[in-house]
Amino acid sequence: MTTSIQTRKGVSCQGLTKDYGRGDARVRALRGVDLDISPGELTLLVGPSGCGKTTLISILAGTLDPTDGDVSVLGVDIKSLSKHEKAACRAKNVGFVFQQFNLLPSLTAAENVSVPLVINGYSKTKAVAHAIEVLKSVGLSERIHSLPSQLSGGQQQRVAIARALVHQPRLLVADEPTSAIDARTGHAIMELIREVALQPDRVAVAVTHDSRVYGFADRIITLEDGRVAQEKHVKPEVTNGLFAPV
């Protein structure tokens, strides 16, 4: 696999741009983003709708290609990777928590969580067994055989979190992880994300409109009109009642 940019094992962007469409229909979602995200801390991306937050994390996760600029993720220049290399890197190293959960409706909670492991070569039996242990860790020990349609929104989000964490990714990316759930569940989910973020070999970044989760962050980056408008290091205040205790 190509590793032409061997920087710090976090995330680094220089002059990052992303265009959608062409000619008169072109829309520039990112306009020269310069950004560094370090391991061992939780970074939140905030800003108004349409400012480029989801576009940015999609590029970092390798699900979207930039138009221009340099992107290094975990010490790897992802722009230099082939489509196959990028898919392999994403499967091994990236956990993505989608805003709409993206659970497979015909699979149980355990089977949904096992998917990243199966992709990485685990047998189905071993993958499901490990998935069950992760589901227990997120408080879903009694829901391992439930289909998504049998779960509440908060329970589905916990399944999505477990799926993102099951293969121990080095990069965790979350898009509005608390947008469709109650405050009690939101507190528990942000605690899980922060636990991952504090590991020195992990990078965690979350997009949010929910100001209640700011107290979980080490760093808050504000985007406006496709650019970084502000970067602020903050002291986490996860015990100050931003959410109701679990």
Cα-based angle 96, 130, 63 (whole degrees, multiple of 5): 15
Instruction: Answer yes or no: is 177 within a domain.
Output: yes
Residues 6+ apart with CB under 8 A from 79: 65, 66, 70, 71
Range of the domain at 201: 11-233
- Look at residues 95, 89, 116 and name the one whose alpha carbon lies nearest to residue 205: 95
Instruction: Answer yes or no: is 5 within a domain.
Output: no
pLDDT computed for residue 101 by the predictor: 87
* Higher per-residue pLDDT: 162 or 240: 162
Instruction: Answer yes or no: is 34 within a domain.
Output: yes
Tell me the per-residue pLDDT of 54-68, one tens digit each, with 9 for 90 and over: 999 999 998 899 999
Number of domains observed in the structure of the chain: 1
Instruction: Answer yes or no: is 68 within a domain.
Output: yes
Instruction: Answer yes or no: is 184 within a domain.
Output: yes
Instruction: Answer yes or no: is 117 within a domain.
Output: yes
H or E element, residue 204: strand 203-207
- Averaged pLDDT score across all residues of the chain: 88
Domain of 25, CATH number, reads 3.40.50.300
Instruction: Answer yes or no: is 246 within a domain.
Output: no
Work out the number of other CB atoms within 10 angstroms of the CB of residue 238: 16
The pTM for the full model equals 0.85
Instruction: Answer yes or no: is 17 within a domain.
Output: yes
